[in-house]
């Protein structure tokens, strides 16, 4: 609902038209403030002409003056007035205030707007002393005031938007065009954000019925059924997940899409990429948005106020012990003195998770639950998004998070343990699309091979490899998938190699000197992307000979040979909760706990999504950067496989 209109008293200045006070008096800010005040007065007069009896209260403020991420860059006037923001030739109108103070306000808009600005502007706002005005705002004309007033009048009479998020309109004063996109509220907004406390009671989770939308699926609804406005998350004005989503029209296999958002971590902006690779760009866009939201939620606790700081010794045996999830070597800490090693008596931040094995809350180190939690001094490892997953219910999210943890554990055990996995014949797949994609990869010079990667658990896990027939540049790439349906697990692994392989030749050739240097010195493998790309160098192929060049290969498996039937002989149940409990039972029967941390953001709940982090202490974690490989030091690497001589090369997981 819209706020009540304010009666305009004759021809006097409209009392609801205000200019938001600046947070700090940066040099050059005065001119912008004066321009905003003059335009606010002109807009007041124009509103009196366009809406002679009543008019909405407005608050006029310039954008790009100071850092919107600081709490002092807010104003209470925003809560009962329509924000009008000025920047260059653009006027941003909205979001409309709501009764009850629902999330989504002018401060959210300013923060989202700043999040998609160029790096130089963000650096100036966030690390510098703000920006300077070179003169008065040149668009402060009577015509511009009338145009904005007319837009406000139209919006005031319009029906409320039925979507999950409020809308904001952008008036271009050069082109005289109006654009509109939903505004995703910022969960960390100091005005309308309402983070709840992180408590042991709030971590309680009892799996509920989760009926599947069709037999054979592992989702409660189709991705098309979510109210997921793509332009709310990817638009160049206030996109919550970045300025755009790019369609990879050069891809000859899948209709891949990619987007990127930046989050400040200390003195630098950290880029986080997201994307989808499905059969159509529309489907890939929606998959990408879900992945982007999942990564945004998993980076830090935006919806919770985490306040538990303690030592492992102080919390006792219920706390998740970081020594069970893996730690770096002493050599790493000597080379990186800023990363302090973990000790049981060191006080660190914790969040609350829920043990599915023991049905009780367990404290989890915050850096293991949120992989870019603020406070560099608190980090003893750099966790990844492994185990983070989203779904239409908590059960769905936990299922896919657990599948990911099992998949990465199995992949790393096989790679570093140099296990000669048994090969799967893709011609036995019952899915025509799978067989067609294998043939399509062959057209582009790649042989798609698949391997049964079940190690330690009965859950089907498939590792896929695309290797060049000619053994040249773009030598090989890897993928993996896990799930109760082996056809789905194989399809997930195939989708990864189908997207990556066709681009690998060009990427290898463009970056060949750097990649060859990595192949000669693994210490130069430092980032996530380095791991798969270095295997574009032909000489790196020898490190996969244990898998691809087996001396005594066994008979090929059929895809159906990987099936793990339930007690009734079925592949899966009609209810996802039953599948989840069966998978959890397999993991706990081997002596491991399954701990769930709810990461769900308010903007995800608004569209029916849930996001979790699934942690299984003791399973092999995945790391990126040769010096950070916890997997090689994990007891499981030796107790499960009895491995003594480990693969000397970094893993190739993408």
Distance of CA 247 to the CA centre of its chain: 18
Residue in 420, 457, 428 with CA at minimum distance from that of residue 619: 457
Tell me how far apart the alpha carbons of residues 371 and 613 are, in angstroms, rounded to a whole number: 10
Split at pLDDT 50, 70, 90, the class of 625 is very high
103 pLDDT higher than 70: yes
Cis peptide before 95 (omega within 30 of 0): yes
Split at pLDDT 50, 70, 90, the class of 457 is very high
pLDDT tens readout for residues 250-266: 888 889 999 999 998 87
Distance of CA 175 to the CA centre of its chain: 35
Split at pLDDT 50, 70, 90, the class of 22 is very low
- Give the count of beta carbons closer than 10 Å to the beta carbon of residue 207: 19
**What pLDDT, on a 0 to 100 scale, did the predictor assign at position 8?**
29
Burial class (CB in 10 A: 0-12, 13-18, 19+), 591: exposed
Split at pLDDT 50, 70, 90, the class of 29 is very low
Helix/strand/coil (H/E/C) assignment for every residue in 433-447: HHHHHHHHHHHCCEE
What's the token pair of residue 105?
Answer: 């306000």
**What pLDDT, on a 0 to 100 scale, did the predictor assign at position 1?**
30
100 pLDDT higher than 90: no
Question: Which segments of 136-266 does DSSP mark as H helices, in order?
Answer: 142-157, 230-233
pLDDT tens readout for residues 330-355: 999 999 999 999 999 999 999 999 99
Do 405 and 356 form a contact (C-beta atoms < 8 A)? no
- Give the count of beta carbons closer than 10 Å to the beta carbon of residue 320: 23
Q: Which residue would you say has higher pLDDT here, 297 or 9?
A: 297
17 pLDDT higher than 90: no
Tell me how far apart the alpha carbons of residues 344 and 320 are, in angstroms, rounded to a whole number: 11
Residue in 135, 126, 111 with CA at minimum distance from that of residue 32: 135
- One DSSP character per residue, 289-358 reads HHHHHHHHHHHS-SSEE--EEE-HHHH-TTSPPHHHH----HHHHHH-TTSPPP-TTS-EEEEEEEETTT
pLDDT tens readout for residues 179-226: 999 999 999 999 999 899 999 999 999 999 999 999 999 999 999 999
Tell me how far apart the alpha carbons of residues 286 and 283 are, in angstroms, rounded to a whole number: 5
Split at pLDDT 50, 70, 90, the class of 79 is low
3 pLDDT higher than 50: no
Split at pLDDT 50, 70, 90, the class of 156 is confident
Find the helix packing angle between 512-520 and 486-510, rounded to 10°.
110
Split at pLDDT 50, 70, 90, the class of 268 is confident
When pLDDT is averaged across residues 63-73 and rounded to a whole number, the result is 85
Split at pLDDT 50, 70, 90, the class of 645 is confident
**What pLDDT, on a 0 to 100 scale, did the predictor assign at position 73?**
64
Question: Which segments of 95-171 does DSSP mark as H helices, in order?
Answer: 106-115, 119-126, 142-157
Residue in 415, 349, 396 with CA at minimum distance from that of residue 649: 415
Residue in 476, 484, 432, 437 with CA at minimum distance from that of residue 460: 484
- Give the count of beta carbons closer than 10 Å to the beta carbon of residue 180: 14
Q: How many percent of the chain have pLDDT more than 70?
A: 93
10 pLDDT higher than 50: no
Using the CB atoms, write b or e for 293-311: b if 16+ within 10 Å.
Answer: bbbbbbbbbbbbebebeee
When pLDDT is averaged across residues 29-52 and rounded to a whole number, the result is 80
Helix/strand/coil (H/E/C) assignment for every residue in 3-30: CCCEECCCCCCCCCCEECCCCCCCCCHH
**What pLDDT, on a 0 to 100 scale, did the predictor assign at position 31?**
52
Q: Name the residue with tokens 């693994």.
A: 522
**What pLDDT, on a 0 to 100 scale, did the predictor assign at position 612?**
98
Three-state DSSP class for residue 173: coil
- One DSSP character per residue, 479-530 reads EEEE-SSHHHHHHHHHHHHHHHHHHHHHHHHHTHHHHHHHHH-GGG--STTH
Residue in 176, 155, 5, 132 with CA at minimum distance from that of residue 81: 5
Burial class (CB in 10 A: 0-12, 13-18, 19+), 422: middle
Three-state DSSP class for residue 396: helix
Do 42 and 136 form a contact (C-beta atoms < 8 A)? no
Question: Please, what is the average pLDDT of the chain?
Answer: 90
Phi and psi torsions of 650, nearest 5°:
-60, 150
415 pLDDT higher than 50: yes
When pLDDT is averaged across residues 131-154 and rounded to a whole number, the result is 90
Split at pLDDT 50, 70, 90, the class of 247 is very high
What's the token pair of residue 400?
Answer: 């896919």
Do 333 and 633 form a contact (C-beta atoms < 8 A)? no
When pLDDT is averaged across residues 62-78 and rounded to a whole number, the result is 75
pLDDT tens readout for residues 385-408: 999 999 999 999 999 999 999 999
Q: Which residue would you say has higher pLDDT here, 6 or 508?
A: 508
pTM of the full structure = 0.92
């Amino acid at each position: 609902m819209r706020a009540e209109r304010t009666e305009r008293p004759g021809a006097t200045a409209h009392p609801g038209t205000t200019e938001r006070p600046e947070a700090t008096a940066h040099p050059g800010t005065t001119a912008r403030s004066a321009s905003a005040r003059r335009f606010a007065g002109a807009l007041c007069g124009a509103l009196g002409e366009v809406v002679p009896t009543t008019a909405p209260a407005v608050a006029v403020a310039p954008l790009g003056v100071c850092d919107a991420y600081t709490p002092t860059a807010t104003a209470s006037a925003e809560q009962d007035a329509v924000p009008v923001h000025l920047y260059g030739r653009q006027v941003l109108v909205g979001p409309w205030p709501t009764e009850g103070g629902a999330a989504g306000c002018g401060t959210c808009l300013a923060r989202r707007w700043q999040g998609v600005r160029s790096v130089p502007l963000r650096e100036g706002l966030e690390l510098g002393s703000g920006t300077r005005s070179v003169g008065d705002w040149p668009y402060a004309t009577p015509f511009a005031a009338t145009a904005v007033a007319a837009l406000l009048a139209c919006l005031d009479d319009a029906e409320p938007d039925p979507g999950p998020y409020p809308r904001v309109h952008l008036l271009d004063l050069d082109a005289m065009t109006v654009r509109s996109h939903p505004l995703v509220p910022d969960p960390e907004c100091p005005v309308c954000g309402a983070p709840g406390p992180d408590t042991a009671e709030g971590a309680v989770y009892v799996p509920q019925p989760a009926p599947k939308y069709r037999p054979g699926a592992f989702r409660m609804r189709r991705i098309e059924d979510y109210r997921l406005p793509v332009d709310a998350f990817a638009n160049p004005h206030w996109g919550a997940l970045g300025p755009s989503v790019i369609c990879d029209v050069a891809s000859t296999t899948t209709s891949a899409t990619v987007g990127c958002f930046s989050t400040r971590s200390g003195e630098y902006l950290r880029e986080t990429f997201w994307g989808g690779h499905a059969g159509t760009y529309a489907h890939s866009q929606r998959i990408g948005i879900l992945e982007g939201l999942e990564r945004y939620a998993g980076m830090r606790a935006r919806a919770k106020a985490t306040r538990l700081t303690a030592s492992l010794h102080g919390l006792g045996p219920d706390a998740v012990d970081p020594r069970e999830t893996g730690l770096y070597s002493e050599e790493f800490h000597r080379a990186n003195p800023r990363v302090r090693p973990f000790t049981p008596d060191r006080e660190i931040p914790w969040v609350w998770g829920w043990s599915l094995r023991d049905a009780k809350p367990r404290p989890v180190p915050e850096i293991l639950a949120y992989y870019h939690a603020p406070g560099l001094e608190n980090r003893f490892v750099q966790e990844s998004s492994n185990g983070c997953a989203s779904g239409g219910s908590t059960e769905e999210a936990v299922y896919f998070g657990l599948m990911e943890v099992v998949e990465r554990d199995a992949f790393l055990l096989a790679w570093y343990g140099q296990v000669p996995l048994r090969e799967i014949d893709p011609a036995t797949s019952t899915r025509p699309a799978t067989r067609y994609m294998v043939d399509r990869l062959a057209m582009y010079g790649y042989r798609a091979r698949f391997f049964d990667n079940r190690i330690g658990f009965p859950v089907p896990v498939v590792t896929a490899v695309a290797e060049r027939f000619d053994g040249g540049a773009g030598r090989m790439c890897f993928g993996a998938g896990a799930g109760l349906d082996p056809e789905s697990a194989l399809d997930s692994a195939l989708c990864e190699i189908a997207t990556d392989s066709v681009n690998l030749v060009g990427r290898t050739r463009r970056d060949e000197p750097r990649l060859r240097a990595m192949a000669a010195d693994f210490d130069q493998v430092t980032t996530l992307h380095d791991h798969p790309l270095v295997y574009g160098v032909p000489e790196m192929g020898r490190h996969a000979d244990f898998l691809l060049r087996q001396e005594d290969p066994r008979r090929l498996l059929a895809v159906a040979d990987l099936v793990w039937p339930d007690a009734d002989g079925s592949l899966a149940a009609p209810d996802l909760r039953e599948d989840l409990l069966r998978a959890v039972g397999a993991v706990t029967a081997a002596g491991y706990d399954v701990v769930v941390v709810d990461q769900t953001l308010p903007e995800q709940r608004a569209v029916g999504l849930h996001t979790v982090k699934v942690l299984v202490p003791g399973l092999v974690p995945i790391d990126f950067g040769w010096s950070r490989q916890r997997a090689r030091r994990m007891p499981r690497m030796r107790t499960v496989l009895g491995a003594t001589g480990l693969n000397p090369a970094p893993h190739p997981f993408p």
